[in-house]
Chain A
Amino acid sequence: MTEKHQIPIRVPVLARVEGEGTLELRVRNGAIEELRLRIFEPPRMFEKLLEGRDYTEIPDMVARICGICPVAYQMSAVQAIENLFGVEPGPWVRDMRRVFYCGEWIQSHSLHIHMLAAPDFLGYASITEMARDHAHEVRRGLRLQALGNEIIRLLGARSVHPVGARIGGFHHAPARAQVDALREKLQAALPEAETLVRWTAALNLPTEEQEFTAVSLRHPREYPMNEGRMVSNRGLDISADRFESRFVEHQEMHSTALHCLHDGKPYLVGPLARLNLNLDRLPAPVRSLADSLGIKFPSRNMYHSIVARALEIVVAMREAIRLLEVYAEPSAPYISVTPRAGTGYGCTEAPRGLLWHRYDANAAGVVIKARIVPPTSQNQARMEEDLRTSLQSLGVRQGEAVLRRRGEMVIRNYDPCISCATHFLDLRVRELTHA
Chain B
Amino acid sequence: MPDRVHIIGVGSPFGDDRLGWVAAESLQRSSVLNSLEPGRIAISIMDRPGAMLLALWDEADHVILMDGVRSGAVPGTRHRLTAGDVTDTCIPATSHGFGIAAALQLAQVLENLPNRLLLRGIEMDVCCTGFTLSAAVTAAMPHFVREIEEETLALAGAIHPFRSKTASESSFFAR
Contacts and interface: CB of A to CB of B under 8 A. Distances in A.
Nearest to B102: A128
A143 B54 CA distance: 9
A131 B110 contact: yes
Nearest to A424: B93
A40 B95 CA distance: 18
Interface residues of B, number: 23
A164 to B, nearest CB: 16
Contacts of B110: 131, 135, 138-139
B93 A15 contact: yes
Interface stretch (B25-33, B44-52, B79-87, B160-168): B44-52
B96 A18 contact: yes
Interface in B82-140: 91-98, 102, 105-106, 109-112
Contact of B95 (A111, A132, A139, A421): A111
A115 interface: yes
Contact of A115 (B46, B51, B105): B51
Contact of A160 (B47, B55, B105, B111): B47
Contact of B52 (A126, A146, A423): A146
Contacts, number: 76
A125 B93 CA distance: 10
Contacts of A14: 93
B48 A126 contact: no
A284 interface: no
A142 interface: yes
A146 B50 CA distance: 11
Nearest to A150: B55
A97 interface: no
Interface of A: 13-18, 67-68, 111, 115-116, 125-129, 131-132, 135, 138-139, 142-143, 145-146, 149, 158-161, 420-424
Given A17-B94, A138-B110, A143-B55, 8 more contacts: A111-B95, A115-B95, A131-B110, A135-B111, A142-B51, A142-B52, A159-B52, A422-B97
29 contacts: A15-B92, A15-B94, A16-B94, A16-B95, A18-B94, A67-B48, A68-B95, A115-B95, A127-B51, A128-B91, A128-B102, A128-B105, A128-B109, A131-B109, A131-B110, A132-B109, A135-B109, A135-B111, A138-B106, A138-B110, A139-B110, A142-B52, A145-B55, A149-B55, A158-B47, A420-B96, A422-B93, A423-B93, A424-B93
